[in-house]
Amino acid sequence: MAAPVNIIVGSHVWVEDSALAWVDGEVTRINGQELHVHTTKGKTIVTNVSKVFPKDTEAPPGGVDDMTRLSYLHEPGVLQNLATRYELNEIYTYTGNILIAINPFQRLPHLYDTHMMEQYKGAGFGELSPHVFAVADVAYRAMINEGKSNSILVSGESGAGKTETTKMLMRYLAYLGGRSGVEGRTVEQQVLESNPVLEAFGNAKTVRNNNSSRFGKFVEIQFDKSGRISGAAIRTYLLERSRVCQISDPERNYHCFYLLCAAPPEVREKFKLESPQSYHYLNQSKSIELEGVSDAHEYLATRRAMDIVGISEEEQDAIFRVVAAILHLGNIEFAKGVEIDSSVLKDGKSRFHLNVTAELLMCDAKSLEDALIKRVMITPEEVITRTLDPEAALGSRDALAKTIYSRLFDWIVEKINNSIGQDPNSKSLIGVLDIYGFESFKHNSFEQFCINFTNEKLQQHFNQHVFKMEQEEYTKEAINWSYIEFVDNQDVLDLIEKKPGGIIALLDEACMFPKSTHETFAQKLYQTFPKNRRFIKPKLSRTSFTISHYAGEVTYLADLFLDKNKDYVVAEHQDLLTASRCPFVVGLFPPLPVESSKSSKFSSIGSRFKLQLQSLMETLSTTEPHYIRCVKPNNVLKPAIFENINIIQQLRCGGVLEAIRISCAGYPTRRTFDEFLLRFGVLYPDVLDGKYDEKVACQMLLDKMGIKGYQIGKTKVFLRAGQMAELDARRAEVLGNAARIIQRQMRTYMAHKEYILIRKAAIQLQACWRALSACKQFEILRREAAAVKIQKHFRCFVASKSYQTLRTSAINLQTGLRAMTARDEFRHRKQTKAAVFIQAHYRCHKAYSYYKSLQKATLYTQCCWRRRVARKELRALKMAARETGALKEAKDKLEKRVEELTWRLQLEKRLRSELEETKAQETAKLQDALRMMQIQIDEANAKVIKEREAARKAIEEAPPVVKETPVIVQDTEKIDALTAEVGSLKALLLTQKQEVEEARKSLIEADARNADLIKKFEDVEKRAEQLQESNQRLEEKLSNMESENQVLRQQALTMSPTGKSISARPRTMIIQRTPENGNVQNGETRVATPETTLVLSNSREPESEEKPQKSLNEKQQENQDLLIKCITQDLGFSSGKPVAALLIYKSLLHWRSFEVERTTVFDRIIQTIASAIEVHDSNDVLGYWLCNTSTLLTLLQHTLKASGATHMTPQRRRSSSASLFGRMSQGLRASPQSAGLSFLNGRVLGRLDDLRQVEAKYPALLFKQQLTAFLEKIYGMIRDNLKKEISPLLGLCIQAPRTSRASLVKGRSQANAVAQQALIAHWQSIVKSLDNYLKTMKANFVPPFLVRKVFTQIFSFINVQLFNSLLLRRECCSFSNGEYVKSGLAELEQWCCYATEEYAGTAWDELKHIRQAVGFLVIHQKPKKTLNEITNELCPVLSIQQLYRISTMYWDDKYGTHSVSSEVISSMRVMMTEDSNNAVSSSFLLDDDSSIPFSVDDISKSMPQVEVGDIEPPPLIRENSGFVFLHQRTE
């Protein structure tokens, strides 16, 4: 992964980024080794040239399936490819034969259904899209073909989906190698069903995953010689024991503890359990419940799973008893005792939990207490018992809890293995390893050390496998690889496991010494590995050490290494639990061997784990490995979030980048010859003229470019690291020069075109401007002349006006002066006269004023007194007048209101009488009441008038001061009462009016509803008539079928298996027609009716009856033998009608075989047909018998009628088990040995329309069913033969051959026609097969209806196969491949036109899915298409899942265009999510319908009328007297 050196200005590169890991940008400036890169995020970064990587600008928009096909195999390229595919929900990607699986954190059911399994079954690796099924299929095929065991290694960090991937692998292996469940549950079912149990006891919530496996699991699936699963075993590694006692927030303990606390109340009461917060082992973390998970429901599910895997009810109770005991054990606390370094139980609560623990473990409480706080030391002299301090006692308690849980988990695994069972005779197996990935946390302890040690071991195995795969690739291509170095991590493994100086060995040594501490252990490590480059001593810690793993440096805390490494069982604990009264607990702690010495007392987890790991590696080394690397895209566990930093770290931990480094050490870039020439042919165009072979052309091109160190394989070009970038740089330079030439020519053309346009516009502009200037000049001259003229007249006017003004002013001035003088004189005289006048008048006024004042005072005094008297009189008059006027006004208003109310009431009455006749009485009552009120009002008015007259008289007679009388008050009260009553009547009237209005509205609505109901009723009547007609037809058909079934049922129940004696059978006779007994015909015979038989028997009583009867039966048997012998031959056709079918029909009809109770002729005919199609399995024979059976079945359908159809009670139809094999088994049963004949009145020969139906008996109806089964079988054989013939061709038709396509890339004119012919050769082969079958069926006169059905189903099969292959293979979803498939479909369309609609029918419409998919591939400007246009116009038949799949897999290998826009993709994804929420099936694959698409009625309706009389008898029976009836002709 060395950085490139061919970086120029304008190059697109990847630059490191702290937030996104890598970001792409364009080089804008180069200063020596410094690059200025402008990123797509808008920032400019200055970096060194060694720290950037080239970006492939021509990478497909949807990424590549296999990352070894990347042009630049480096870290940012891998990350970008994974991100692109993950965005499109493509979660699987190959790196060589390594599968990378990114957890989608959502359901994708369409990826794992049975359709998908069927597609990957037997498919070559890499042929279809990447999938976990492909890895499983390769492992299975390799095991079957090579006989060697295989293994699949699934790794990844917590939450990456390892467990789910393992489940999918086992499902697919069960699908491939499953066996029928005759013996109960199958092995694969038991293995899958063991997962819930192991997850309950071995999984827990961690920071990164809610269901993290805290143990490693290797599932060995054993297979027998036939490739079926015969046994299985589960191996577990390094259960995280410390989690039982210590958990950190927000993690949880193992699931089983929480499940038990959520158990039903009776279970909790039985084990004395409370909420999880009450227990020390669970309340160390605040995370008690999982979101979206019910612990109570999971408890019941776990109990059911334990039942399934074979754990009995008693064992389940014992298991949960032990789990409850561990919870109570954790709540036992200790305090300091009286003695030094002693401890006692802390309080009564601890005593309670101690007693409950002892009760659950069925041991003595005192013994349990002593085992926790005391230790026994055995010396040669004596036995010493010492007590532990509280801290040591807590350690003893936790050690006991961890030991019990570890033994319990091992017991469950062993029980599951015993339940599943192993196959000792199995020679091959497939192992699925589900193991924890590399872990690096803030605080890493002994568990992380062991986990990372495991991953180092697996990484070494992985590196060896990758290097081996590289070697195989190089050897396959026959190139030299001897100088490529292998990247190894053996030094890290030596640091950890080497003896005697490895870390594990030093840890075991420290554990053996009682005085060793974590500090002394750390110091020992510092002293042992001071110069080891993989071991680093931290500067600020005395108990930590750092190891440089392949995935990075990890710092471990040695504080708890010694405690966690010790694995021996304390002797006191062993003795306590061995003495338990519970057999289950005793079984967990078997007694130690007597001969165990002191040296064997110590056992370390590290050493035991190293031995387990060594055993695992030995198992893996004997198998062929396959790798699946699971990746968690984000830490929030949500879909559609891709965190680059997190992904890069996981790729490093998973060894994917290590594998890339191994590839980069050799030839990281590999291209097939045609791909290489397609990309870099522009560097040396001479090699593309068709003169050179592709291999030679590639070599010439590389030599021309001066590339050194490359290798040419058999099919590929191998380039060293950096050479691809160099070629791309030169290609970019060539394309840049070409682009500049094109730009120069284009700019010249555009500039010239622009100059011509500007020149033409300038001329037009100048002409217009000159005309405009002349107009403006003329206007100026015209204005100047007008201005001179205006000025002349204006000056004249001004001078004249000035003179007139001056003259007028002088005259006015003179006049004014003279007037002023006259006015002064006049004013003086006037003032003098006025003074004299004023004086005279003043004196007069003064005298007159005095007189007037005296007069005014006198009058005022008189007026005041008169006014006072008059005012009193006026007040009295006004009061009287006001009362009378008010009464009159009230009366007038009441009369008007009464009139108005009367008019309205009458109007409402009329309306009401018209709308509701039922309320006439109420209206009458209201009118009566109104009349009464009118009378009362009239009386009141009369009283008012009288009272008013009386009041008037009283006023006249009254004195001036009038008092208010009570009569007026009483009248006022009456008026108020009348007014109130009128108001109530008005309110009542308003109410009635509202009711009338509501009634009117209801009537209108009712009329509208009635109109709608009438319309609906008319429609229903029409539909009822149609349904009645259909019902009559169905009733007739049902009656026929029920009668038929009734007859068959009765015959099957009543018929004796041995048959009646011959003498008991009815006797029949064949007599010649004579003029005496009927119409004379030439040699015509007929079967005598019962009446005729009676007459003949009476006339021939003396003759013997036994001899004619025997002779008759022998003759009939000979005729049947002759018929069977005849139809075994190919009788051919007569005027397009099958001779054999007509011969059988006429013979059976003439012999009255349809009406007999027992006969063997039907079974013999069926056996003849069966032997014919089995012996001659050719399409010609099948077509011949298809025509005969269909014709014969049509004749029987028109002729046979179940006997008793008119008088039998219809019964429910029997459940139709008339499958092919069911009817065949019925048809091949032996019929009774002989049969009697019952006769029909009249003739049944002649035209079919002239025939009345025959009352068919049981054998005839059974024969019809058997014939139907054979018709379906023959039809299916023809259809399946055609499918088998075209299936291999369809696999070649979905993708154009690469060599042929490459020959069409550049202008190789001579080879174009040949290459084009080669491209459609496979399609022409399919057309040829279709044509051959069509000719065969035409030659055998198969009914066109059946021919149409065959080709309709065949075209549907072609549609399914091509469409499914298109969706599963990304290389097929290209533009050029779309053109190829489109040309092939055109061949099929042309064939349909040739075959005509009579035989092809709607076959072309069956290709709608592949036609629309191909149409989508070849349309241009896809990004401009909206989702509505795609779903409604372009591809209306395709579902959203199918459109999404095609849109995301599409790549344009011809023009380099893009698929649909990101907005359309997002909309599709939203619609798919909604469909999945609505439980809509999300499978994007199609199903092939292999059912029989027709019924007997369909055939009889589609076939034309069959003339049964006009056939030429075959030579074998032509002269036979028994078949003379065949010579007769119908009129």
Tens digit of each residue's pLDDT (9 = 90 or more) over 1491-1511: 888 888 888 778 777 777 667
φ/ψ (deg, to 5) at 529:
-120, 55
854 Cβ neighbours under 8 A, 6+ residues apart: none
CA distances from 190 to 162, 235, 982, 1138 (A): 19, 15, 94, 58
For residues 1031 and 401, which has the higher predicted lDDT (pLDDT)?
401
CA neighbours closer than 13 Å in the CB half-sphere of residue 1425:
21
CB 228, CB 179: distance < 8 Å? yes
pLDDT above 70: residue 1448? yes
Q: Looking at residue 1075, what is its pLDDT? A: 34
CA distance 243 to 256: 13
Listed in sequence order, the DSSP H helices in 27-108 are 75-87
100, pLDDT greater than 50:
yes
pLDDT for 780 equals 94
**1304 band by pLDDT with thresholds 50, 70 and 90:** very low
| Higher-scoring residue by pLDDT: 672, 79 | 79
Q: What is the mean pLDDT of residues 230-241?
A: 83
Answer yes or no: is pLDDT of 185 > 70: no
First vs last C-alpha separation in the chain: 95
Q: What share of the chain in percent tops pLDDT 70?
A: 84
Own/partner contacts of 1521-1528, CB < 8 Å, gap of 24 or more, are 1522/1115, 1522/1118, 1522/1119, 1522/1122, 1523/1119, 1523/1122, 1523/1147, 1524/1083, 1524/1084, 1524/1085, 1525/1084, 1525/1085, 1525/1146, 1525/1150, 1525/1245, 1526/1143, 1526/1146, 1528/1081, 1528/1082, 1528/1084, 1528/1245
Cβ(521)–Cβ(532) below 8 Å:
no
pLDDT at res. 362: 92
Q: According to the annotation, is 157 in a ligand binding site?
A: yes
Q: Closest Cα partner for 88 from 1339, 1446, 1295, 1518?
A: 1446
- Confidence bin at 1249 (pLDDT 50/70/90): very low
Can you give the pTM of this predicted structure?
A: 0.60
| Residue 1257 counted as an annotated binding residue | no
pLDDT for position 1233:
33
Q: What's the pLDDT score for residue 1247?
A: 39
Of the ranges 454-458, 559-563, 631-635, 828-832, which one carries the lowest mean pLDDT score? 559-563
Give which of 1299, 74, 77, 126 is closest to 677, Cα–Cα: 1299
Q: Is the per-residue pLDDT at 1054 higher than 70?
A: no
Q: What is the pLDDT of residue 1295?
A: 66
Confidence band, pLDDT 50/70/90 cuts, at residue 1170: confident
Report the percentage of the chain scoring pLDDT > 90: 19
Q: Residue 763 above 90 pLDDT?
A: yes
Per-residue pLDDT tens over the stretch 1354-1405: 999 999 988 888 888 777 888 888 888 888 889 898 899 988 888 888 888 8
259 pLDDT higher than 90: yes
pLDDT in tens, 941-954: 888 788 778 877 87
Q: What pLDDT is stored for residue 1096 in this prediction? A: 33
Bigger pLDDT: 196 or 1236? 196
Is residue 638 within 8 A of residue 103, CB to CB? The reply is no
Mean pLDDT (the chain) is: 79
| pLDDT of amino acid 1496 | 80
Instruction: Please tell me the predicted confidence (pLDDT) of residue 1310.
Output: 46
Encode 82-102: b = buried (16+ Cβ within 10 Å), e = exposed.
bbbbbbbbbbbbbbbbbbbbb
Residue 1299's pLDDT is: 44
Q: How far is CA 659 from CA 96, 154, 306, 494, in A?
A: 10, 16, 41, 21
User: Looking at per-residue confidence, does 543 or 957 come out higher?
Assistant: 543
pLDDT over threshold 90, residue 805: yes
Give the pLDDT band of residue 1427 (cuts 50, 70, 90): confident
Q: Is 161 annotated as a binding residue?
A: yes
Residue 180 pLDDT exceeds 50: no
How confident is the model at residue 1528, as a pLDDT?
57
| Mean pLDDT score, 320-336 | 93
Confidence band for 1460, pLDDT divided at 50, 70 and 90: confident
pLDDT tens per residue, range 1179-1221: 888 888 889 888 888 888 888 876 554 334 333 333 333 343 3
Confidence of residue 919 (pLDDT cuts 50, 70, 90): low
Q: Is there a contact between 72 and 724 (Cβ–Cβ < 8 Å)? A: yes
pLDDT computed for residue 1045 by the predictor: 63
Statement: residue 1079 has pLDDT above 70: no
Confirm whether residue 156 is marked as ligand binding.
Answer: yes
Mean pLDDT of the region 1323-1349: 90
- What is the arithmetic mean of pLDDT over 893-906? 82
Q: Indicate if the pLDDT at residue 1222 is higher than 60.
A: no
486-500, 542-556, 775-789: range with highest mean pLDDT: 775-789
Does 431 carry a binding-site annotation?
no
162 labeled part of a ligand binding site = yes
Confidence category of residue 971, pLDDT binned at 50, 70, 90: low
Strands (E), 1113-1211: 1133-1134, 1137-1138, 1200-1202
Tell which wins on pLDDT, 1065 or 515: 515
- Which residues lie below 8 Å from residue 216, measured CB to CB, with a gap of 6+? 236, 237, 238, 433, 434, 435, 436, 454
Active site residues: 158-159, 163, 209, 212-213, 437, 439
Instruction: Decide if pLDDT at 377 tops 80.
Output: no
- How is residue 23 written in tokens? 């970001």
The tally of CA atoms less than 13 A away on the side-chain side of residue 233 is: 9
Residues 438 and 926: their CA atoms lie apart, in Å, by 99
Please tell me what DSSP assigns to residue 1231: P
Alpha-carbon distance values, 1461 to 774, 1330, 1433 (Å): 60, 40, 17
Q: Would you state the pLDDT for residue 1068? A: 34
The residue that leads in pLDDT, 797 or 1486, is: 797
Instruction: Read off the pLDDT of each residue in 184-195 and give the average, rounded to a whole number.
Output: 72
Among residues 328, 343, 445, the alpha carbon closest in space to that of 394 is found at 343
Assign 179 a pLDDT band (cuts: 50, 70, 90).
low
DSSP helix/strand/coil, 1247: coil
pLDDT above 50: residue 1093: no
Q: Is the pLDDT of residue 1017 over 80?
A: no
Is the pLDDT at 1297 greater than 70, yes or no? no
